[in-house]
């Protein structure tokens, strides 16, 4: 699907993320590294050097490692007249004597280089890794709580040794069930998980030997953590290299390795790639799970730590295609801490060679149209498909990102059972024929639970119900509470069970779910030991829990966590479960578990020793291979489709549901029925807009389509077939269509498909009256976001903290009188990436927290720079924002800090003056009228946008007190940031629009809340906005989705006040009665200086991914 480029993206962590099996999945999580780009390395897009010109190539480029030849892709705009002479390559440049920032700065001076960017770190997309400690929510006093919840305090008593009560004999165990019955994505009968019957992929031939036809050599690449080729459902489905002249191993290559032996090892130490591979192509009818495609062969591509290894994998795929490997799609369930243009070019080149790239939308529950994420890099790329996730109940998954314009289709993503590494196997009582004990709560004699370890002293609790079940007809409903409701099972004598072996290593498993279709629940698990105490499974209290998410049932997170302690009392086997209701929310781009009073359901309890290499996982990481598998099916059904047409056919082959309306381009859920794929919905890829006509490109428009634009009929002037199998319609532009308008094409054969585009100013809507010029130099757009500061005749654009922009040695500035741009050189030894600035004592004062200027304050008087030493990161928080509050210099927030400090430059002291409500880097702060307005910033763990909401800090007796502003009536989302500036009568703010869409700009008085302003900045959503009120104008510079540069710069007339510059600066001693010294600092722990610059540049989960715009600006 042909898309426009979306520039602002935040990375990881799943962060997808797209969930690997750990967080939203059952797996051991890999620790997150905060060093998320390779030191002293950069990816460059550069010209090929001809033999005659090689001597003129700088030494850095001459020694570059070529990753991929992209000569067939459009030139990326190298700054050279001969850029197209020899084509372009993507290459890795290393220089261990330079920092990454210094290296990129050097490379960007070379005329042969189109762009240079960090070698970003990558990882599987996970949600759980970004989930902070859960927050307990106390129940309201009037809340009625069932009787058993009142005994939660009995839990500590259970830690003491107790005499075992009488144990009952174990009952009959189950007969092993069939795994494919639990694969709801293909055949949702409603018999499992209490799911929604019929909500599935409508793949009637799935798992039937005659269910599909065509060639058996369709190859699908899994670009991930590797694939365990020993899994019984994958060992016969792996692609083999044979005699082809390709590096690596028999089934693919490992670019995380260095030696030939390592590069040949495509096994999976994580599990994520194996799970994705099984969803795509697990062998049918083999006694385990079955994949989407019967015939697909799996090519295992294992990436390393950085994006350069992903590019190398793309180059490997290009080589394989050149050798006639029938490679049709690549599954990409990973993310990056940057927005690499290089990857976009790689996807385009491979697309022209016949490959569809499938990416997940991410797991931060955010609107990607407003915030962006790695997958939105491909909004203008017709060879990529971006996938959202749904659960088995017909709901968009709680964690899934979405986007009316930037994501394409919804697929099954929650409670997905698939293959897993053989050395990380799980115990599943429902699939075992050798359980010692099994309980499904199907009858009145089922296992009982009590409020005390001694049933005689406690009350029986729980209710056998059919409201929600894992399997069978019944489960046990118990009360979960915020603080944890502890219950005990009646003891069972497992020594009487058939086959009991006192020397065996047994495991325990249970399945738990929360209430409703998106509910969550948790059970902390302990078992009775022979000494009468209770201990956690695997003797590990931290991991001895099962947590059901997104309405579904779930067990423990890893097979190893299921292990029963060696001294478990099997003669009096007894469980101690502490049950908690959970509400999972995503306020700042990462999940938070809020414990609360909610019912939970437990089912499928078992004790046994048999393990199987399969696993349940949740996430867009799981939805993505569902679509990749669908692409494989379509590649067999429609072998003449180009990659662009196959991508469009995938997007158009849906069942439309109201739940998904305006959540993605297709409004629908993948439908693999032959009728749906033979006749897809129209897919609109692009619209070229003039005053009189609109030219629409896309697929499946039909013979006699109808077109509306903004709901108005558009007359078709011509209908042509394009060379790539698509259609091009030229239609008359309807009168009075303006703003973001939907271009809708309806085929008489199927129905309607659409995409939205900007048709200009809306009638009767007032806009900022001044659309201001932007620099012609593409280097301006390499910085993700700026802070604007008025000084003299200029607005200075300070590279602000939104992550991974280019290193700068020059500051851009805009002359407010002549409306022209120029640059000011920084001191030679003071380049910077992220900084903050303020006017102080009639000078521009800049604090930079990166590169060689860590802790250094620079001052500029309009002609000369002066460095003020003495502040280090240990004193002035890294990434703090400077502000002039009526003559007092303040530092607000910063890395690991929510403090407000007064800055005494003479004595180098930082007396605390209060706290904000957010611990964030690079907040946007405006000061005036004795108040601070704080917004935006990046918080550790948030994935793809700035923090939402606005705080007002009021100075009272020398201390700033923070309060949130009411956002009622404003579409804040969870990652939508504001920017503000002080004006004469209060403040002006810009950011998310109102619920009615009337404006994106607001006024704020000295009291009260935000009031919608009479004008708006733009039709499209604003991302990473910055604002300044200066010399009678309110200026806004922001990212947007509707311009070639992806920036807008506008202003409107307002009454402004000049900053206060007193002859005698206010010091902390002049404030109030000195109580400021008693305020807590809010510091959560400072980072070591040696790692500060790298951490600030690369921290996973808080990065805004940068899209290079040099190409657009030079074309």
Write out pLDDT tens, residues 758-809: 999 888 899 999 999 999 887 787 676 789 999 999 999 998 755 444 567 8
- What pLDDT is recorded for position 801? 59
Helix, strand, coil content of the chain in percent (nearest 5): 15, 35, 50
State pLDDT tens for residues 107-117. Answer: 988 888 888 88
Structural contact between residues 392 and 184, judged by C-beta atoms closer than 8 angstroms: yes
- What pLDDT is recorded for position 416? 97
Is 320 a residue whose pLDDT tops 90?
yes
Structural contact between residues 22 and 15, judged by C-beta atoms closer than 8 angstroms: no
- What pLDDT is recorded for position 157? 36
What is the C-alpha separation between 274 and 237, in angstroms, rounded?
12
Q: How many CB atoms lie within 10 A of CB 259?
A: 8
Euclidean distance between the first and the last CA atom of the chain, given in angstroms as a whole number: 23
Torsion (CA) 494, 500, 503, 504 in degrees, nearest 10: -100
Buried b (16+ CB within 10 A) or exposed e, 175-210: ebbebbebbbbbbbeebbbbbbeebbbbbebbbeee
Write down the catalytic residue from 336, 418, 511, 621: 621
Average pLDDT over the chain, rounded to whole? Answer: 83
For 345, 346, 350, 650, 756, the CA distances from 382, given in Å and listed in that order, are: 12, 13, 11, 12, 16
Q: Which of 684, 624, 4, 29 is nearest to 334 (CA)?
A: 624
Structural tokens at position 724: 């790539």
- What pLDDT is recorded for position 955? 92
For helices 620-637 and 272-281, angle between their N-to-C axes, nearest 10 degrees: 30
Structural contact between residues 610 and 174, judged by C-beta atoms closer than 8 angstroms: no
Say which residue, 448 or 1085, is predicted with more confidence: 448
- What pLDDT is recorded for position 783? 72
Structural contact between residues 524 and 545, judged by C-beta atoms closer than 8 angstroms: yes
What is the C-alpha separation between 575 and 523, in angstroms, rounded?
11
State pLDDT tens for residues 453-490. Answer: 999 999 999 999 999 999 999 999 999 999 999 999 99
Is 76 a residue whose pLDDT tops 80?
no
How confident is the model over 974-983, as a mean pLDDT? 84
**Based on the number of CB atoms within 10 Å of its own CB, is 533 exposed (0-12), middle (13-18) or buried (19 or more)?**
middle
Write down the catalytic residue from 127, 187, 224, 597: 224
pTM over 0.85: no
Q: How many CB atoms lie within 10 A of CB 870?
A: 14
**Based on the number of CB atoms within 10 Å of its own CB, is 1085 exposed (0-12), middle (13-18) or buried (19 or more)?**
exposed
What is the C-alpha separation between 1022 and 1000, in angstroms, rounded?
8
The CATH superfamily of 770-1098 is Kelch-type beta propeller (2.120.10.80)
Residue 279: in which H helix or E strand, if any? helix 272-281
Structural contact between residues 491 and 498, judged by C-beta atoms closer than 8 angstroms: no
Is 247 a residue whose pLDDT tops 90?
yes
Q: CA angle, corner 1092, sides to 1091 and 1093, nearest 5?
A: 100
Torsion over CA: 441, 445, 448, 453 (sign): negative
Is 365 a residue whose pLDDT tops 70?
yes
Buried b (16+ CB within 10 A) or exposed e, 918-948: bbbbbbbbbbbbebbbbbbbbbbbbbbbbbb
- What pLDDT is recorded for position 162? 60
Structural tokens at position 1107: 């899209």
Instruction: Write the CB contacts of 964 (distance below 8 Å, at least 6 apart in sequence).
Output: 917, 949, 950, 951
State pLDDT tens for residues 617-674. Answer: 999 999 999 999 999 999 999 999 999 999 999 999 999 999 999 999 999 999 999 9
Is 616 a residue whose pLDDT tops 90?
yes
Judged by DSSP in three states, 660 sits in helix
Is 139 a residue whose pLDDT tops 50?
no
Do you know the residue count of the chain?
A: 1115
- Of the listed ranges 42-56, 809-823, 964-978, the one predicted with least confidence: 42-56
Is 192 a residue whose pLDDT tops 50?
yes
What is the C-alpha separation between 491 and 988, in angstroms, rounded?
66
What is the C-alpha separation between 353 and 321, in angstroms, rounded?
7
For 89, 271, 425, 617, the CA distances from 266, given in Å and listed in that order, are: 26, 12, 19, 21
The label of the residue with tokens 């011509």 reads 718
Say which residue, 919 or 467, is predicted with more confidence: 467
Say which residue, 518 or 335, is predicted with more confidence: 518
What strands, in cross-sheet order, belong to the sheet with 979-983? Answer: 979-983, 986-990, 1001-1004, 1011-1012
621 is a catalytic site residue: yes
Write down the catalytic residue from 202, 272, 590, 849: 272
DSSP 8-state code for residue 540: -
Q: Print the SS3 string covering 775-815.
A: CCCHHHHHCCCEEEEEECCEEEEEECCCCCCCCECEEEEEE
Q: Which of 714, 711, 777, 784 is nearest to 1047 (CA)?
A: 784
Question: What is the pairing mode between strands 327-332 and 219-224?
Answer: parallel
Buried b (16+ CB within 10 A) or exposed e, 264-278: bbbbbbbbbbbbbbb
Q: Which fold has domain 179-420+621-660?
A: Rossmann fold (3.40.50)
Structural tokens at position 765: 């809507």
CATH 3.30.70 corresponds to the domain 37-120: yes
How confident is the model over 1091-1101, as a mean pLDDT? 33
Q: Which of 1104, 1061, 338 is nearest to 786 (CA)?
A: 1104
Judged by DSSP in three states, 537 sits in helix
- What pLDDT is recorded for position 120? 73
Is 128 a residue whose pLDDT tops 80?
no
Buried b (16+ CB within 10 A) or exposed e, 588-613: bbbbbbbbbbbbbbbbbbbbbbebbb
- What pLDDT is recorded for position 773? 96
- What pLDDT is recorded for position 940? 63
What is the C-alpha separation between 991 and 1016, in angstroms, rounded?
10
Question: What's the pLDDT band for 372 if we cut at 50, 70, 90?
Answer: low
Q: What is the largest CA-CA distance in the chain?
A: 93
Q: What residues are paired with 612 via a beta bridge?
A: 426
Structural contact between residues 416 and 551, judged by C-beta atoms closer than 8 angstroms: no
Is 1095 a residue whose pLDDT tops 60?
no
Is 505 a residue whose pLDDT tops 90?
yes
**Based on the number of CB atoms within 10 Å of its own CB, is 957 exposed (0-12), middle (13-18) or buried (19 or more)?**
exposed
224 is a catalytic site residue: yes
How confident is the model over 232-247, as a mean pLDDT? 97
What is the C-alpha separation between 469 and 548, in angstroms, rounded?
12
CATH 2.60.120.260 corresponds to the domain 139-173+426-612: yes
For 450, 477, 487, 993, the CA distances from 462, given in Å and listed in that order, are: 8, 5, 9, 47
State pLDDT tens for residues 285-311. Answer: 999 999 999 999 999 999 988 778 999
The label of the residue with tokens 């503000």 reads 980
- What pLDDT is recorded for position 772? 97
For 98, 123, 147, 496, 1053, the CA distances from 64, given in Å and listed in that order, are: 15, 25, 70, 69, 51
What is the C-alpha separation between 391 and 86, in angstroms, rounded?
49
Structural contact between residues 43 and 118, judged by C-beta atoms closer than 8 angstroms: yes
- What pLDDT is recorded for position 530? 96
State pLDDT tens for residues 1062-1078. Answer: 444 444 443 333 333 32
In the chain, what are the domain boundaries? Answer: 37-120, 139-173+426-612, 179-420+621-660, 682-750, 770-1098
Is 851 a residue whose pLDDT tops 70?
no
- What pLDDT is recorded for position 1101? 33
Q: Which of 429, 424, 434 is nearest to 472 (CA)?
A: 429
State pLDDT tens for residues 44-75. Answer: 888 876 433 434 678 888 888 888 888 764 44
φ/ψ region of 259 (left if φ > 0, alpha if ψ in -120 to 50, else beta) reads: beta
Structural contact between residues 935 and 978, judged by C-beta atoms closer than 8 angstroms: yes
Q: CA angle, corner 793, sides to 787 and 794, nearest 5?
A: 25
- What pLDDT is recorded for position 469? 97
């Amino acid at each position: 699907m042909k898309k426009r480029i979306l520039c602002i993206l935040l990375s990881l962590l799943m962060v997808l993320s797209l969930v690997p099996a750990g967080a939203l999945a059952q797996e051991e999580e890999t620790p997150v590294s905060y060093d998320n780009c390779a030191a002293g390395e950069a990816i460059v897009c550069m010209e090929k050097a001809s033999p005659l010109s090689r001597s003129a190539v700088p030494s850095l480029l001459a020694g570059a490692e070529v990753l991929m030849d992209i000569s067939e892709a459009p030139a990326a705009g190298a700054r050279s007249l001969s850029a197209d002479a020899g084509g372009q390559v993507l290459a890795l440049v290393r220089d261990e004597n330079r920092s990454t920032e210094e290296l990129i700065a050097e490379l960007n001076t070379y005329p042969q280089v189109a762009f240079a960017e960090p070698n970003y770190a990558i990882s599987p997309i996970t949600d759980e890794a970004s989930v902070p400690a859960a927050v307990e929510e106390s129940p309201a006093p009037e809340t009625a709580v069932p009787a058993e919840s009142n005994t939660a305090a009995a839990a500590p008593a259970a830690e003491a040794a107790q005499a075992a009560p009488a144990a009952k004999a174990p009952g009959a165990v189950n007969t092993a069930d069939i795994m494919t019955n639990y694969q709801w994505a293909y055949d949702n009968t409603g018999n499992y998980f209490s799911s929604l019957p019929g909500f599935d992929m409508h793949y009637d031939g799935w798992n039937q030997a005659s269910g599909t036809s065509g060639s058996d050599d369709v190859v699908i690449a899994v670009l991930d953590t590797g694939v365990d080729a020993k899994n019984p459902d994958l060992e016969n489905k792996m692609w083999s290299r044979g005699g082809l002249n390709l590096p690596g191993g028999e089934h693919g290559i490992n670019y995380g390795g260095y030696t030939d032996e390592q590069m040949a090892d495509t096994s999976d130490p994580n599990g994520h790639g194996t799970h994705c591979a099984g969803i795509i192509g697990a062998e049918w009818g083999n006694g385990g799970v079955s994949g989407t495609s019967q015939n697909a062969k799996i090519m295992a591509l294992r990436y390393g730590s950085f994006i350069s290894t992903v590019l190398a994998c793309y180059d490997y795929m290009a080589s394989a295609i050149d050798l006639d490997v029938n490679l049709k799609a690549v599954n990409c369930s990973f993310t990056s801490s940057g927005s690499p243009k290089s990857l976009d070019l790689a996807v385009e080149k491979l697309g022209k060679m016949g490959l569809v790239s499938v990416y997940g939308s991410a797991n931060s529950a955010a609107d990607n149209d407003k915030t962006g994420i790695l997958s939105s890099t491909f909004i203008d790329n017709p060879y990529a498909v971006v996938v959202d996730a749904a659960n088995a109940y017909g709901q968009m998954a709680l964690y899934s990102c979405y986007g009316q314009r930037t994501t394409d289709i919804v697929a099954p993503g929650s409670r997905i059972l698939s293959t897993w590494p053989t050395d990380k196997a799980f115990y599943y009582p429902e699939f075992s024929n050798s359980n010692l004990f099994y309980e499904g709560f199907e009858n009145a004699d089922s296992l009982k639970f009590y409020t005390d370890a001694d049933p005689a002293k406690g009350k029986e609790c729980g209710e056998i119900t059919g409201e929600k079940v894992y399997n069978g007809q019944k489960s046990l409903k118990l009360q979960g509470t915020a603080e944890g409701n502890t219950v005990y099972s009646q003891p069972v004598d497992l020594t009487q069970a058939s086959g009991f072996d006192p020397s065996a290593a047994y495991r325990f498993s249970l399945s738990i779910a929360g209430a409703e279709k998106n509910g969550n629940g948790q059970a902390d698990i302990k078992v009775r030991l022979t000494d009468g105490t209770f201990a956690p499974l695997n003797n590990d209290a931290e991991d001895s829990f099962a947590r059901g998410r997104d309405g579904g049932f779930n067990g423990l997170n890893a097979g190893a966590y299921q292990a029963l302690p060696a001294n478990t009392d099997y003669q009096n086997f007894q469980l101690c479960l502490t049950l908690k209701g959970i509400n999972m929310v995503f306020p700042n781009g990462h999940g938070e578990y809020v414990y609360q009073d909610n019912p939970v359901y437990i089912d499928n309890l078992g004790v046994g020793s048999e393990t199987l290499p399969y696993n349940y996982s949740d996430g867009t990481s799981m939805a993505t291979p569902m679509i990749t598998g669908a692409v494989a099916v379509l590649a067999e059904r429609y072998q003449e489709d180009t990659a662009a047409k196959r991508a469009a056919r995938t997007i158009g082959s849906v069942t439309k549901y109201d739940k998904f309306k305006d959540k993605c381009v297709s409004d629908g859920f993948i439908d693999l029925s032959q009728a749906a794929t033979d006749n897809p919905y129209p897919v609109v890829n692009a619209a070229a807009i003039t005053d009189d006509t609109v030219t629409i490109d896309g697929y499946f428009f039909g013979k006699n389509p109808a077109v509306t634009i903004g709901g108005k009929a558009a007359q078709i002037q011509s209908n042509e077939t394009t060379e790539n199998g698509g259609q091009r319609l030229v239609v008359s532009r309807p009168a009075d269509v303006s703003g973001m308008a939907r271009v809708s094409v309806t085929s008489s054969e199927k129905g309607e498909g659409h995409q939205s585009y900007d048709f200009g100013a809306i009638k009767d809507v007032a806009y900022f009256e001044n659309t201001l010029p932007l620099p012609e130099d593409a280097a301006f757009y390499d910085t993700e976001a700026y802070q604007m500061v008025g000084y003299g005749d200029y607005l200075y654009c300070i590279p602000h903290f939104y992550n991974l922009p280019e290193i700068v040695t020059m500051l851009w500035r805009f002359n407010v009188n002549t409306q022209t741009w120029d640059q000011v050189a920084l001191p030679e030894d003071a380049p910077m990436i992220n900084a903050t600035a303020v006017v102080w004592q009639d000078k521009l004062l800049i604090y930079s927290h990166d590169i060689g200027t860590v802790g250094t304050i620079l001052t500029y008087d309009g002609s000369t720079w002066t460095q003020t030493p003495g502040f280090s990161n240990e004193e002035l928080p890294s990434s703090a924002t400077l502000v002039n509050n009526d003559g007092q210099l303040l530092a607000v927030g910063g890395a690991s800090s929510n403090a407000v400090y007064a800055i005494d430059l003479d004595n180098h002291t930082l007396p605390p003056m209060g706290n904000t409500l957010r611990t964030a880097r690079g907040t946007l702060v405006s000061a005036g009228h004795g108040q601070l307005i704080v917004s935006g910033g990046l918080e550790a763990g948030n994935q793809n946008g700035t923090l939402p909401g606005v705080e007002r800090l009021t100075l009272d007796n020398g201390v700033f007190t923070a309060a949130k502003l009411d956002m009622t009536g404003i579409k804040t989302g969870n990652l939508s940031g504001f920017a503000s500036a002080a004006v004469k009568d209060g403040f002006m703010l810009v950011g998310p629009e109102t619920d009615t869409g009337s404006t994106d700009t607001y006024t704020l008085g000295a009291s009260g809340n935000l009031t919608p302003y009479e004008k708006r900045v733009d039709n499209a959503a604003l991302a990473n906005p910055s604002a300044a009120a200066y010399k009678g104008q309110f200026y806004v510079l922001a990212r947007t989705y509707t311009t070639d540069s992806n920036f807008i710069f506008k202003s409107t007339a307002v009454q402004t006040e000049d900053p206060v510059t007193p002859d005698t600066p206010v010091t902390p001693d002049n404030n109030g009665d000195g109580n400021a010294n008693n305020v807590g600092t809010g510091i959560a722990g400072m980072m070591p200086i040696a790692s500060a610059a790298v951490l600030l540049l690369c921290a996973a989960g808080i990065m805004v991914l940068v899209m290079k715009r040099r190409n657009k600006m030079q074309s």
